[in-house]
Amino acid sequence: MDDARKAARIVGRILDREFPDPPIPLDHRDPFTFLVAVVLSAQCTDARVNQVTPLLFSSLGDTPGDLARARVEDIQEIIRPCGLSPAKSRALQGLSRILVDVHGGRVPGSFDALEALPGVGHKTASVLMSQAFGVPALPVDTHIHRCARRWGLSDGHSVERTESDLKALFPKARWNRLHLQIIHYARRDCPARGHRADACPVCAALAKAGLPVEE
């Protein structure tokens, strides 16, 4: 068994112990409110998004029809704390209009249809497919990309390579849970800054097994 597969077994065991049932960190009520939250989360913390979305939905509405009718300026004013508000406000209004005009006011459950929406790339579509529709996917954010390289699960060459490597190392049935597990674990135990390998259960276990740990 090569080093990456040995590391994957150790990582999987520890993640299952530490986060057996990881929650979705973005507050939402349905696929549409989840889609809005995921779009807002780009280069923004989940905590900040969870502070902004209640005001957005209470002020302008929480359906595609509501945001399709809202003025971009009004959306932008509310979501400004999330950053990138000009682009995000246009994307939210634009995708809402498409949902109303093309998809009957519902969020589509396919990668192609999601990625055709304004402001929705592969990662956002993967989050929706995995967490809203239960379709196996493994979206890679900065936490997952960093930890996969640090733990020797991928060479970190690109986000696309990391996604491919993780999918090869873990069974499809684990992908949706693994995505959330690594995010929660990375934030708590394996941060980008101030990381101590001896205080991180995964990094410590990998080192004990004689496997390389990147910083």
Q: What amino acid positions are annotated as catalytic residues?
A: 123, 141
For residue 67, give both structure tokens: 């945001």
Contact (Cβ atoms closer than 8 angstroms) between residue 64 and residue 30: no
Could you tell me if residue 61 is left (phi over 0), alpha (psi between -120 and 50 degrees) or otherwise beta?
Answer: left
Contact (Cβ atoms closer than 8 angstroms) between residue 37 and residue 132: no
Alpha-carbon distance 201 to 190, whole Å?
9
Q: Which residue, among 191, 175, 198, 205, has the nearest Cα to 11 in the 3D structure?
A: 205
DSSP code, position 83: S
Phi and psi dihedrals of 44, rounded to 5? -150, 150
Q: Give the residue ranges of DSSP H helices in 61-155.
A: 64-69, 72-79, 85-103, 111-115, 122-127, 142-150
Query: Tokens 């069974």 label which residue?
Result: 171
Residue 198 to residues 36, 134, 142: CA-CA distances in angstroms?
38, 35, 22
